[in-house]
Amino acid sequence: MSLRIVVCVKYVPDATGDRHFAEDLTVDRDDVDGLLSELDEYAVEQALQIKEAADDDAEITVLTVGPEDAKDALRKALSMGADKAVHVEDDDLHGTDVMGTSLVLAKAVEETGYDLVIAGMASTDGTMGVLPAILAERLGVPQVTLLSEVSVEGGVVKGRRDGDTASEQLEASLPAVVSVTDQSGEARYPSFKGIMAAKKKPVKSLDLDDLDIDAESVGLEGAWTKVDSAAERPARTAGTIVKDEGEGGKQLAEFLAGQKFI
Amino acid sequence: MAEVLVYVDHVDGAVRKPTLELLTLARRIGEPVAVALGSGAEATAATLAEHGAVKVLTADAPEFADYLVVPKVDALQAAYDAVSPAAVLVPSSAEGKEIAARLAVRIESGIITDAIDLEAGDEGPVATQSVFAAAFTTKSRISKGTPVITVKPNSAPVEAAPAAGAVEALSVSFSAQATGTKVTSRTPRESTGRPELTEAAIVVSGGRGVNGAENFAIIEALADSLGAAVGASRAAVDAGWYPHSNQVGQTGKSVSPQLYIASGISGAIQHRAGMQTSKTIVAVNKDAEAPIFDLVDYGVVGDLFEVVPQLTEEVKSRKG
């Protein structure tokens, strides 16, 4: 029996670009280049390592919910070594919040068939970091999240979760939902061969009808949260910059004393 | 007056500061009812009462420590069912966010994470968030169900507001999912004796310019002179000079202290995302063109190995 791994990835505006909101207060995707969220590369990497270590066959499906351009993110993951891709795309998905996205992902994961779902620790645009937990709740399977180390053996997933106050070793039976941090191991670069091979790998497209999801439960109207306003943070007023001529530390102390920090 | 559930983050009964900040925010919306779980839960009551909790619902069972997240979701849901609150507030720790999110799915309510402020509004609580690496500030609210909101540390003052804080035992029946993920071992983080990074009033951080693990002693000495927490940029953490638990930035901790001191940090977007909302920012960097200087209230262009020790000495002598 082969191990079926589904990696959930997100196509996001480049975090180093000048990100803005569109008029409807959704993330503006037109003015900034999009790419596979950096934090999801770690999820693809761990999926590849689990596949490489597996005794039996393993198959990696990379899954995204997003606009047409989101295929770029899938292509990147395929060029890293994932086997096939599923793209959920539907005009009614515009403006979907985490509750809607998790609903779509849960249905798509079930439709694809899975033993292990792997996600990144958070997206680099929304940065909530809660989708994997919600996905586990919706699927009714164990949540093994925020792992810095992960392994799968004999139908059991194990990993290390470094929390605020303690480091924990976790264990759960498959099927399960895992998320991995940026400490889990650097993601590989796609090889030229990988890039060429990715062009021939299958990308399956699904829409809301295929997943039997009501359009009213997703999109901006179906969102359970509402953004009322988004304002650019005012630029910080220019501060005092001095060049150290031997007294820099003392000058800084003087400033801190003036601000009552000392 | 409507009741507001506040999830208590505590270590063996010692309430962590972000929970006290939540009580301040909860009082703006209604009457805080605290939910404390696990070992030491009852010991939290006195502190919570001092800060405005009218009731403290407590539960303890081995499941809270032995299994990940879900037992706590079951308990918070039991509290939700018992109280029918106007809102549920949870500290924005990694675990807090996961607990809140799973509760939100179960009670079919929207969720807002990482709020930095909260006020009452005509259509329910309005949450302020800092997004896109703190380049934008948004105001949002929940449009379905009972608002579930997680709030970042340092988002509100801790205020004394004595209330009854009556302890009531919460009866929890665990769901089938509760025992899905076993915690097979737990190693507490070694205490450095310094304040917790996200809660500290002052943070002193070092970056690429610190140039080696051993040189972080300079950063630590300054931090200790100020009673500050120590942070590190991703470059310093990736180089193995300082633990990841101290990383400030997009993929590390996001901090918002009264004073942030950046040493040898250029100020790439990755780092700015985690510290841009600090009240006062100062920097020491030998590169006058470093983007960090665009953010600072006071900057010194110079060698951190000269400037930082001099500053440390000056702080010590001024503090006597």
What digits encode the pLDDT tens for the residues B231-245? 999 999 999 999 999
HSE at residue A246, side-chain half, CA atoms within 13 A, is 0
In angstroms, what separates the C-alpha of B307 from chain A's closest C-alpha?
4
Strand stretches in chain A, DSSP E: 3-8, 11-13, 34-36, 58-65, 84-88, 116-120, 143-153, 156-162, 166-173, 176-180, 203-206, 225-232, 240-243
Number of other CB atoms surrounding residue A235 within 10 Å: 8
Residue A200 has pLDDT above 90, yes or no: yes
- The CA–CA distances, whole Å, from B14 to A232, A248, B150 equal 38, 41, 20
pLDDT digits (tens, 9 = 90+) for B197-209: 999 999 999 999 9
Q: In this model, does residue A1 exceed pLDDT 70?
A: no
Mark yes or no for CB contact A236/B188 under 8 Å: no
Q: Under an 8 A CB cutoff, do A242 and B301 touch?
A: yes
Contacts of B96 in chain A (CB under 8 A): none
Look-up: residue for tokens 């006597």? B320
Q: Is A260 on the interface with B (CB under 8 A)?
A: no
- Give me the residues paired with residue B300 across strands: A242, B284
Q: How many CA atoms lie within 13 A of B111 on its CB side?
A: 32
- Amino acid code (one letter) for A225: T
Distance CA B8, CA B40 (A): 11
| B288–A243 CB contact, under 8 Å | yes
Structure tokens at B11: 């270590």
Q: What is the mean pLDDT of residues B71-84?
A: 98
Asked whether residue B135 carries a pLDDT value surpassing 90, the answer given is: no
Q: Do A249 and B306 touch (CB under 8 A)?
A: yes
- Each domain of chain A, given as residue ranges in start order, spans 3-222
| Residue-wise pLDDT tens digits, A213-225 | 999 999 999 999 9
Phi, psi of A158 (to 5 degrees): -125, 155
How far does B273 lie from chain A, in Å, by closest CA?
Answer: 10
Query: Looking at CA atoms only, how far is residue B75 from chain A in angstroms?
Result: 15
- The pLDDT value given to residue B207: 98
Q: Domain A3-222, what architecture? A: 3-Layer(aba) Sandwich (3.40)
Q: Which domains does chain B have, with CATH numbers?
A: 3-179 (3.40.50.620), 197-319 (3.40.50.1220)
Whether A224 sits inside 8 A of B142 (CB atoms) is yes
- Residue A13: asked if its preceding bond is cis (omega within 30°), the reply is no
Of A173, A225, A230, the CB nearest to B136: A230
Cα dihedral: A11, A13, A15, A18 (round 10): 180
Query: Which residues of chain B neighbour A161 with C-beta distances below 8 Å?
Result: 68
- B311 closest CB neighbour out of A15, A246, A253: A253
Taking the C-alpha atoms of residue A216 and residue A146, their distance in angstroms, rounded to an integer, is: 32
DSSP character at residue B195: P
- What mean pLDDT value characterizes chain B? 96
Nearest CA in chain A to B201: A261
Q: What is the DSSP string of A64-123?
A: EE--GGGHHHHHHHHHHT--EEEEE--GGGTT--HHHHHHHHHHHHHHH--SEEEEES--
In sequence order, the β-bridge partners of residue B131 are B136
Higher pLDDT, A1 or B246: B246
Residue B133 pLDDT greater than 90, yes or no: no
Q: Indicate whether A55 pLDDT > 80.
A: no
Q: How far is B24 from chain A (nearest CA, A)?
A: 23
Structure-token pair, residue A56: 């039996």
Please tell me which of the candidates B97, B135, B309 has its beta carbon nearest to residue A232: B135
- Alpha carbon B100 to chain centroid, angstroms: 15
List of chain B residues whose C-beta atoms are within 8 Å of the C-beta of residue A172: 180-182
Distance CA A163, CA B93 (A): 9
Residues in Cβ contact with A48 at an 8 Å cutoff, skipping those fewer than 6 apart: A60, A80, A81, A82, A188
Q: Is the Cβ pair A229, B138 closer than 8 Å?
A: yes
pLDDT by residue (tens digit) across B29-38?
Answer: 999 999 999 9
- Under DSSP, the state recorded for B315 is H
Query: What is the C-alpha separation between A241 and A237, in angstroms, rounded?
Result: 12
Q: Do B139 and A228 touch (CB under 8 A)?
A: yes
- What's the rounded Cα separation, in Å, for the pair B173 and B178? 10
DSSP B132-190: TTTTEEEEEEE-SSS-EEEE-TTSS---------EEEEPP----GGGGSEEEEEEEEPP
In the predicted structure, residue B290 carries a pLDDT above the cut 90:
yes
- Partner B, chain A 46-65, Cβ-Cβ below 8 Å: none
Residues in A closer than 8 angstroms to B134, CB to CB, are: 233
In the sheet where B229-232 sits, what is the strand order? A240-243, B298-301, B280-285, B259-263, B202-206, B229-232
**B262 has a chain A CB within 8 A of its CB:** no
Provide the shortest C-alpha distance from residue B282 to chain A (in Å): 8
User: Helix (H, G, I), strand (E, B), or coil: what is residue B93?
Assistant: coil
CA–CA distances in Å: residue A115 to residues A175, B78, B296 = 4, 31, 50
Residues 113-142 of chain A whose Cβ lies under 8 A from any Cβ of chain B? 121, 124-125, 127-130, 133-134, 136-138, 140-142
From chain B, pick out residues whose CB is under 8 angstroms from the CB of A130: 97-98, 100-101, 111, 113
Whether the predicted pLDDT of A43 surpasses 90: yes
8 A C-beta contact, residue A77 and residue A187:
no
Contact B293 A251 (CB under 8 A): no
Q: Which of residues 102-141 of B touch A (CB under 8 A)?
A: 102, 104-106, 108-114, 126, 130-141
SS (H, E, C) B70-92: HHHHHHHHHHHHHHCCCEEEEEC
Two structure tokens written together for B128: 């302020």
Residue numbers of A between 148 and 187 with CB closer than 8 Å to B: 148, 158, 161-173, 176, 181-183
Within 220-249 of B, beta carbons closer than 8 Å to A belong to: 226, 244-245
B185's CB contacts (< 8 A; 6+ apart) are A168, A169
- Would you state the structure tokens that stand for residue B130, as one six-digit string? 């800092």
Is A224 within 8 Å of B145 when comparing Cβ atoms?
yes
In the predicted structure, residue A16 carries a pLDDT above the cut 90: no
Give a three-class secondary structure readout of B19-61. HHHHHHHHHHHCEEEEEEECCCHHHHHHHHHHCCCCEEEEECC
Q: What is the signed CA dihedral for B88, B91, B96, B99, rounded to 10 degrees?
A: 0
- Quote the ipTM score: 0.95
Which residue reads 């302020």 in tokens?
A: B128
Nearest CA in chain A to B123: A226
From chain A, the residues in CB contact with B308 under 8 A are: 249
How far is B269 from A14, CA to CA, in rounded Å? 11
Residue A216 DSSP symbol: G
The answer to whether B143 contacts A176, with C-beta atoms less than 8 Å apart, is no
CA–CA–CA angle B247, B252, B255 (5° rounding): 80
Residue B182 in this model has a pLDDT that exceeds 90: yes
How do A203-206 and A84-88 pair as beta strands?
Answer: parallel
Cβ contacts of A256 on chain B, cutoff 8 Å: 259, 282, 315
Is the per-residue pLDDT at B1 higher than 80? no
Question: Above 70 in pLDDT, residue A20?
Answer: yes
CB B305 within 8 A of CB A256: no
Task: Give the confidence band of A31 by pLDDT, cuts at 50, 70, 90.
Answer: confident
Average pLDDT of every residue of chain A: 95
